[in-house]
Structure 1
Amino acid sequence: MKNLFKFASLKNRASLTLESSLEFDACFHFEYSKSVSAFEAQPIGFYYQYYGKSLPYTPDFLVSSADGKQIYYEIKYSKEACDLEVKERLRHKQQSCIELGLELRLITERQLRKGCSGQLILATVLEFNQNNRSDSLGVSPPLY
């Protein structure tokens, strides 16, 4: 049984269902990054070739930048990302992305959580909500 997480995004005006706490953390970065105009969890995927087999793949996120560029993101713990088979599969997925005219990037907890505690994330969210006079669901005035 998988634990699922929900992230209420003002930027997307939607609630996202996520498959890990690491994906949840990534949402904060996407939500508050000025260079990100929108992001989607578990977007429509694609097929990639792996040793003669065509395999389905669904990235963790599709992120749209303010300049219109779209990038797929795979979110992994660094220990898992160091696994040889994971690296090999990622390389094949990235090659398929290139053929589709897209890019696939890997993000680990080292990038997401570098110098950032859960308290800092919460403080950022609370400050954002107070300054915008809206709660996490986009209700003005806030419900709290």
Structure 2
Amino acid sequence: MNSLITGGLVGQLGEIATAVEAVPPRHGRMGSRVTKFASRKNRSIVSCDSLLEAAFCLELERRNDVNHYVSHPYTLKFIGTNYRYTPDFLVCFANGSQLLVEVKNDRSFEDKTISGRISHYAELLAAQGCMLEYLAASQFYQRIRTANLAFLYHQSFSSQGDSTAKLCALMASRRQPTNIGDLLDLAFQPSNIAYAIFYGALEMDLSGVLTCCTRVRINRRPAVQKQNFSNNLTEPN
């Protein structure tokens, strides 16, 4: 039996719900399509039933406080009701805590029927100490920003971050503005530059189109991350 169904948050829900293995997505909802996301953090393929879920995977991959995550971890059957609910994600943090996350496009998020149903599930779960966070696409998805993150993530796949310290030392020693083209001219591999930016050692304006002229700088901000994603996903870098 799937260990996710017998432990973790599910263990707290015995009084109100049972959990069964969720049916893997085979086709997306209307306007969506099933997407396979190659997760470095999980060392596996994550099945997403929409491109929006795949975009959220990028945010989870960047977070240094996220140990691993699971899409559609189980289906909850609420005892004494006809309610059935499959969360989009189970997020497991490095400190051992867990969080369920539901993501919706803005139209669905603003639909009172849909949001009312999810809010009701969240209340039932919260009463048992199980937290469900409900996110609208606009809270983490921005077309150019998300495209930049996807590009950086896939470019960084062949890197293990071995050059990150050297990149940061170089950046600290330079007095003039530095762009990606400058780093390439200094013989840094594109994968190592992408790794340093995606995982936050270096930062850039992710809201602009990424080119060789894009300026980069050391990320000097403290890595403070709350386990409330809506307060952490709109940073300017």
Q: TM-score, normalised to structure 2's length?
A: 0.50
Aligned equivalent of 1:46: 76
- Secondary structure of 1:105's aligned partner: strand
Considering only aligned residues, what root-mean-square deviation do their CA atoms show, in Å? 2.2
For 1:96 and 1:48, the matched residues in 2 are separated by 9
What letter matches 1:15 in structure 2? I
Change (3 A) 1:82 1:88: same
Larger Rg: 2
How far did residue 127 of structure 1 move? Answer: 4.9
Which among 116, 121, 124 is matched to residue 152 of structure 2? 124
What letter matches 2:52 in structure 1? L
1:105 correspondence with 2:148: no
For 2:137 and 2:155, the matched residues in 1 are separated by 24
C-alpha contact (below 8 Å) 2:36/2:48 kept by paired residues: yes
1:12 correspondence with 2:12: no
Note the alpha carbon deviations across 1:105-141, whole angstroms, 9 max, x for none. Answer: 11222122246141x11332145325317xxxxxxxx
Note the alpha carbon deviations across 1:29-58, whole angstroms, 9 max, x for none. Answer: 101211111100001132348xx8331100
How far did residue 97 of structure 1 move? Answer: 1.3
1:64 correspondence with 2:96: no
C-alpha contact (below 8 Å) 2:76/2:86 kept by paired residues: yes
How far did residue 87 of structure 1 move? Answer: 1.8
1:34 correspondence with 2:34: no
Which among 98, 108, 112 is matched to residue 84 of structure 1? 112
How far did residue 103 of structure 1 move? Answer: 0.5
C-alpha contact (below 8 Å) 1:72/1:104 kept by paired residues: yes
Change (3 A) 1:126 1:14: closer
For 1:94 and 1:117, the matched residues in 2 are separated by 27
Give aligned pairs, total: 131
1:23 correspondence with 2:23: no
Change (3 A) 1:111 1:53: same
Higher RCO by CA contacts (8 Å cutoff, separation 6 or greater): 1
For 1:94 and 1:5, the matched residues in 2 are separated by 26
Ranges in structure 2 where 5+ consecutive residues have no aligned partner: 1-26, 162-190, 192-237
Change (3 A) 1:68 1:74: same
- Secondary structure of 2:127's aligned partner: helix
